[in-house]
Structure 1
Amino acid sequence: MKLKPVDKISGIAPNDFIRDYLKKGQPVIIKDFISPKSACWDKWSYDYFKEIAGSEVISVYGKEEESQDRAASAPIGKMTFGEYLDLIQREPTELRLFLFDLLKLRPELKKDVIYNDVTGGKVLQWLPYMFFGGEGSATRNHFDIDMSHVFISQFQGVKKIWVFPNSQSDLMYKLPYNFHGIANLKTSSVDEYPALKFLDGYEAEIHPGETLYMPAGWWHYIQYATEGYSISVRALPSSFSEKLKGARNLFITRYFDDTMRKIFKGRWFDYKIQMAKARANRAIKKYK
């Protein structure tokens, strides 16, 4: 597996960003996507979050390897938001908050974030999601079901993110009718998953104030180098084919997979694993 560092930029005009990154599908770290004038930088803290929403009961997510047979991982438990924040501050943990809606629970927080929309108005600022994780936690390798462009901004702690173009899906051992691969990019053996040797992507390390732009359909493996949290906003896919694929994923593919899993149970998952490995083996021949 080859990983190149992601370039960092700041002060870029929308026309230049669209030409050099959005249209080319080129990942980049933007140092000023969240304006330094935003109130969040002085106002937000774990103590502040506990004060305004600490009693909210939230669902927590663990190792995603345990949900490989389905498109979306199921939560493994519940606790209060305050208890979770205390946990990640106290010790490393694999527990994460996924697509957390703190900004919906406390909509006044949206006013604390000022976006420097380098897309010229394409970013869906009204649809932000927060992601929290403990030190050492990670997501499975996946691409987003709706095929949107993603801007993930770090507010606390450090994240390391490996990204790969969608064209390398077969090398990822992508499961048919799903949006993730069965191989763990960090721990899986290349003896068991030899196609991983041919992956060619990027490594981004984002710190508070930095935003990683991930082009539509790109794979990403997110690792929490420290505890922390981020906000993700999206922009709709650029091309008609990406929009069509995203709509098909949302309204057809995932429901078809759920139905087949309910009917055939483990046999359906076994079939998908066989197909993922067969496609990876065919992909290997193209690189040799």
Structure 2
Amino acid sequence: MGFDFQAVERVATISPTDFYNLYVKPQKPVVVERLTADWPAYEKWHFEYIKQVAGDTMVPLYNNDPVDYTKKVNEPDATMSMRDYIDLLLSGQTTLRIFLYSLMKHAPVLQNDFKFPDLKLKLIKSLPFLFFGGKGVNVFMHYDIDLSNILHFHFAGEKRCIIIPPEQTPLMYKIPYSNICHESIDIDHPDFNQWPALRHVHPYVADLRHGEMLYMPEGYWHYMKYITPGFSMSLRAFPIHASNIVRGVFNLFVVRHYDNWMRKRKGAAWIEEKNKRAIAQTNATLSKLRP
């Protein structure tokens, strides 16, 4: 038994005004299927093209090992040339993935292949990020630390996105001073006996294909799984709620640095303490829901 998913609403195309009024203002996710149809990227962005324009670029790679107190947040596990990584990825012999990488800085020609869409959002144009992964590779359940609105475009394959509204955070076994849930949770096959609060979580799901865009409102949890090898680009936009702007800045410049400091100070004991607190805090919320 797993989650009872609700499919993310889909539209083929949409006007900027309708997008903002129907989805941004109410903070509701949506898939826009043909937003990229007139981008050069729609035809170009496949693995061989990336190898041609960025094959010699050294890229940071990540695995899904549990949090290691000896590492800083988002510290890579390995590095490799983009060409060798794509070959390895397509061979099906790696679970390493590229995460939050600003490839545009190293292969600026890619900037000519896409457009910043006019959707009445204040896009942060200096921060287009790329993500790569092979079949079956997943990105742990988390929300973005800066609480941005996210436009997530997928290319060269198919990807499953499970997203959860921020209102359900108290049920998510969120790790204190972090933006992830307890790493022992298997999102694909949740154990509701071990994690009973998850019975009350109601996720959305969207399967993205080449060229499709998923809009994730600010603070949404998301878990990504590559159904086939593929890659994605995320564009970020400032939160529309002032409270989330403040929280995002606080997370970036206070919470993250405090967590790194405590990892150095307390080591593995800090990770264990946070995991225990995540369970205790979520169980306290759950107890209020039970009759």
TM-score in same-fold range (> 0.5): yes
Amino acid at match of 1:114: K
Q: Distance in 2 between matches of 1:169 and 1:67?
A: 23
Q: What is the aligned partner in structure 2 of residue 30 from structure 1? A: 32
Q: CA deviation at 1:156?
A: 1.2
Q: What is the aligned partner in structure 2 of residue 163 from structure 1? A: 163
1:140 is paired with a residue whose SS is strand
1:40-51 → structure 2 map (5 Å cutoff)? 40-51=41-52
Q: How many residues matched?
A: 286
Q: Is 2:263 the counterpart of 1:236?
A: no
Q: Deviations over 1:175-218 (max 9, x none)?
A: 11100011232245222222112111200111111100000000
Q: Distance in 2 between matches of 1:197 and 1:71?
A: 32
* Identical residues among aligned pairs (%): 33
2:98 is paired with a residue whose SS is strand
Q: What is the aligned partner in structure 1 of residue 135 from structure 2? A: 135
Q: Deviations over 1:138-193 (max 9, x none)?
A: 11110000000001001111110110111212211101110001123224522222
Q: Is the 8 A contact 1:135 1:226 kept in 2?
A: yes
1:1-288 → structure 2 map (5 Å cutoff)? 1-34=3-36, 36-67=37-68, 72-91=73-92, 93-118=94-119, 120-182=120-182, 183-288=185-290
Q: Is the 8 A contact 2:197 2:282 kept in 1?
A: yes
Task: Give the direction of change, closer, same or farther, for the CA distance of 1:204–1:198 in structure 2 (3 Å limit).
Answer: same
Q: Is the 8 A contact 1:64 1:140 kept in 2?
A: no
Q: Deviations over 1:249-268 (max 9, x none)?
A: 00000111111221122222
Stretches of structure 2 lacking an aligned partner (at least 5 in a row): none
Q: CA deviation at 1:22?
A: 0.6
Q: Distance in 2 between matches of 1:7 and 1:72?
A: 33
TM-score, length-normalised on structure 2? 0.92
Task: Give the direction of change, closer, same or farther, for the CA distance of 1:261–1:201 in structure 2 (3 Å limit).
Answer: same
Q: CA deviation at 1:113?
A: 0.8
TM-score, length-normalised on structure 1? 0.93
CA RMSD after TM alignment: 1.9
Amino acid at match of 1:113: F
Query: Following superposition, which runs of at least 4 residues in structure 1 exceed 4 angstroms of deviation?
Result: 66-71
More off after superposition, 247-256 vs 11-20: 11-20
Amino acid at match of 1:12: I
